[in-house]
Amino acid sequence: MKRVFLTVLDAVGCGNAPDATMYGDEGANTWGHVMDTAKPELPNFAALGLGQIEGTHCPPDPGAAGGAGRCMEVSAGKDTTTGHWEIAGLPVAHAFPTFPEGFPADFIGAFEEAIGHRVIGNKPASGTAVLEELGEESYAKAMPIVYTSADSVFQIACHEEVFPREELYRFCRIAREMLQGPELGVGRVIARPYTGKPGAFVRTNGRRDFSLVPPDRTLLDAVKEAGMASIGVGKIADIFADKGITEADHAAGNAACIEAWLKYMHKDFEGLCFTNLVDTDMLWGHRRDPQGFAEALKYIDGKLPEIMAALREDDLLIFTADHGCDPTFRGTDHTREMVPLLATRKGLDHLVPLGTRRTYADIAATCAEWLGLPDRFGAESFCALLG
């Protein structure tokens, strides 16, 4: 009964993307700069070979056992959707549109008419800053906040006492239907519910992502078509618009996502469990907090012994990332970086250098081969290297 547990450490890049200068990100290195600044001890990641990956700045463990390398991204852009789609075997040739000056006035007018409410904002902003600036007005006047970032996103923030979550999700579904095509087709529409009183607004765990539907087959489709389980934990089902998903657990936050992931490790199934651990990106990367970022990595590292103990004979465990979000870098946006690659199976007792993979899609090819599927997604599997 073959199983793959594929986990994305959201935004945990390891620097040195060959084309970083094209994105204004030369010098960014998320994992390396977190190690340099906050100096977290990550012995369990090191035991899997983290210290042997260039750019992580993690002290190498001489007894490390596992596959260790890094991946380049061939997709255009540096956002969540492109990163996850490429990991699943679907690189994106053209970057999704971004709106550094806000969305066009005619679109905003049409959106307001469609939802029956005026909106405020319509500019790039960080999620916490926009609540400080516009949260009170939004709360008092029942006006949703619309904002974006350097990423291809349309975000809507509403106070839960004014617009319950399901109403906010309705607004997002309307926006998703309207935001299509090469000019307006953003990668994600994101619901950002918040609560609290003026001066003390906080975002809740009701975030939902409404992505474009992947335009072609991915690893998830291949697994589902083979009659296997294709499980998404965290925001995975949202990122793939439920395409190729047989079961989803929309757990929010790293602790809840890891518990959901462990629950599946103790279940009998054949197929894929694909997990996103979002806190490093959402809570610490965008807020430029290297200490918080380090604590999130330490938490995951502390759960690794339990995860490793739950591995079965025919399980493959992979850790990677979808992009960077260097908390020591300028601005508050994602950074174009290589991503780390750690892979192991039960009984692997030596270090396996995986090198620098030319595309994230090598991960999809490897997962497919492990599960006995013929798909390779135009990429190269490293399954044979793991023995």
pLDDT one-digit tens code per residue, 322-359: 999 999 998 878 999 999 999 999 999 999 999 999 99
Q: State pLDDT tens for residues 281-330.
A: 989 998 899 999 999 999 999 999 999 999 999 999 999 999 999 999 98
Name the pairing type of β-strands 315-320 and 339-345.
Answer: antiparallel
Q: State pLDDT tens for residues 220-271.
A: 999 999 999 999 999 999 999 999 999 999 999 999 999 999 999 999 999 9
pLDDT for residue 331: 81
pLDDT for residue 287: 87
pLDDT for residue 112: 98
Handedness of CA 320, 323, 325, 330 (dihedral sign): positive
Name the pairing type of β-strands 3-9 and 66-71.
Answer: unpaired
The answer on pLDDT for 151 being more than 90 is no
**Residues facing 345 on adjacent strands:** 316
The answer on pLDDT for 150 being more than 90 is no
pLDDT for residue 199: 86
Location of structure tokens 């765990």: 205
The answer on pLDDT for 139 being more than 90 is yes
Give 16 or 176, the one with higher predicted confidence: 176
- Give the confidence band of 153 by pLDDT, cuts at 50, 70, 90: very high
The answer on pLDDT for 126 being more than 90 is no
What is the average pLDDT across 7-18?
Answer: 96
Pair of tokens at residue 176: 């998703």
Contacts with 265 (C-beta within 8 Å, 6 or more apart), sequence order: 5, 273, 307, 310, 311, 315
Q: How far apart are CA 327 and CA 217, in angstroms?
A: 34
Percent of the chain with pLDDT over 90: 93
The answer on pLDDT for 53 being more than 90 is yes
pLDDT for residue 16: 86
Handedness of CA 381, 337, 286, 126 (dihedral sign): negative
- In eight-state DSSP terms, residue 11 is T
Radius of gyration of the chain (CA): 20
Contacts with 12 (C-beta within 8 Å, 6 or more apart), sequence order: 30, 31, 280, 297, 321, 324, 339, 340
Q: Please name each of the domains of the chain with its CATH number.
A: 3-93+214-386 (3.40.720.10), 105-211 (3.30.70.1250)
Q: What are phi and psi of 312, to 5 degrees?
A: -105, 175
What is the average pLDDT across 116-128?
Answer: 94
Amino acid at 341: L
pLDDT for residue 387: 87
- Give the confidence band of 58 by pLDDT, cuts at 50, 70, 90: very high
Q: How far apart are CA 164 and CA 173, in angstroms?
A: 15
Round the average pLDDT of the chain to a whole number and report it: 96
CB neighbour burial string for 48-60, b if at least 16 within 10 angstroms, e if fewer: bbbbbbebbbbee
Pair of tokens at residue 361: 């899609």
Pair of tokens at residue 151: 């990423």
Alpha helices in the chain (DSSP H): 30-38, 43-47, 80-87, 105-115, 127-141, 165-178, 181-184, 219-225, 236-239, 254-265, 279, 290-309, 361-370
Amino acid at 188: R
For the entire predicted model, the pTM comes to 0.92
- Give the confidence band of 57 by pLDDT, cuts at 50, 70, 90: very high
pLDDT for residue 332: 78
